[in-house]
Amino acid sequence: MSIPAPQSWIRATPSGLYCEPGGFHIDPVQTVDRAVITHGHSDHARPGHRRVLATPETIAIMRQRYGESVGASLQRVRYGEKVRVGDVSVRLVPAGHILGSAQVVIDYRGSRVVVSGDYKRRPDPTCAGFEPQHCDLFITQLLSHRKSTSHGDQRRCAKGKCAIEVNVDSLGVALLSLEVCDNRHGGSR
Ligand SMILES: [Zn+2]
């Protein structure tokens, strides 16, 4: 069985980033059936989704902010815990951004995508530190860089060790193709 290209199973939609085999959106901008939320900031965590998967801290922040509108069904997943969602495996790892913030590590038939949400690599005593992950595709948010990036731009990767390709879609989500580089920056697969 061949390994599917990440771009064939995760894509941007009007509601946000959508993982097709998992049947969920990540940080959706519209109300959806199943949402995986990277962290509690309101431009990522919105109310009213039917099912929500996030770290316990993120769900606590959402509950504080939205009360009963946080979501009908809440699934609290701790860092490092692996859960099955549809046909994919999902694991949340620290993003170092705020309390409870997580990168979403998604595995599907030998193909791995990491969605960072907002992240920060310098130490922060208020949250767990960013943990780099090996992956085939790293999707992050470069809204602040939007003016300086365009389709096919070449940038340096997070550790400045290699060139990566950046594609910015209409949602301002950057698809950083790490397939083109030797992505051995730490972490384990
Ligand atoms: Zn944030």
Q: Residue 52 pairs with which residues in a beta bridge?
A: 35, 74
Residue 71 lies in a domain: yes
pLDDT in tens, 67-110: 999 999 999 999 999 999 999 999 999 999 999 999 999 999 99
Report how far ligand 1's centroid is from the alpha carbon of 39 (Å).
Answer: 7
Report how far ligand 1's centroid is from the alpha carbon of 67 (Å).
Answer: 20
Question: Considering the entire predicted model, what is its pTM?
Answer: 0.78
For the chain, percent of residues with pLDDT exceeding 90: 60
Look over the chain and give the mean of its residue pLDDT values, rounded to a whole number: 81
Residue 86 lies in a domain: yes
3-state secondary structure of 141: strand
Residue 156 lies in a domain: no
Instruction: Compute the distance between CA of residue 2 and CA of residue 81 in angstroms, rounded to an integer.
Output: 27
Q: Where are the beta strands (DSSP E) in the chain?
A: 10-13, 16-19, 24-26, 34-36, 51-54, 73-76, 82-85, 88-94, 102-108, 111-115, 137-141, 153-156, 163-168, 173-177
Among 164, 149, 161, smallest CA distance to 186 is for 161
Number of independent structural domains in the chain: 1
Residue 19 lies in a domain: yes
Report how far ligand 1's centroid is from the alpha carbon of 146 (Å).
Answer: 16
Report how far ligand 1's centroid is from the alpha carbon of 157 (Å).
Answer: 20
Instruction: Compute the distance between CA of residue 123 and CA of residue 126 in angstroms, rounded to an integer.
Output: 9
pLDDT in tens, 97-149: 999 999 999 999 999 999 988 888 889 999 999 998 888 888 876 544 343 44
Residue 85 lies in a domain: yes
- Structural domain including 35 reads 6-136
Report how far ligand 1's centroid is from the alpha carbon of 4 (Å).
Answer: 30
Report how far ligand 1's centroid is from the alpha carbon of 80 (Å).
Answer: 20
Report how far ligand 1's centroid is from the alpha carbon of 126 (Å).
Answer: 14
* CATH classification at residue 21: 3.60.15.10
Report how far ligand 1's centroid is from the alpha carbon of 1 (Å).
Answer: 38
Report how far ligand 1's centroid is from the alpha carbon of 74 (Å).
Answer: 20
pLDDT of amino acid 141: 66
Residue 126 lies in a domain: yes
In the structure, what pLDDT confidence band is assigned to residue 155 with cuts at 50, 70 and 90? low
Residue 185 lies in a domain: no
Among 95, 49, 91, 98, smallest CA distance to 74 is for 49
In the structure, what pLDDT confidence band is assigned to residue 55 with cuts at 50, 70 and 90? very high
Residue 168 lies in a domain: no
First to last CA, the chain: 20
CA distances from 139 to 51, 60, 64, 84, 125 (A): 22, 25, 28, 20, 25
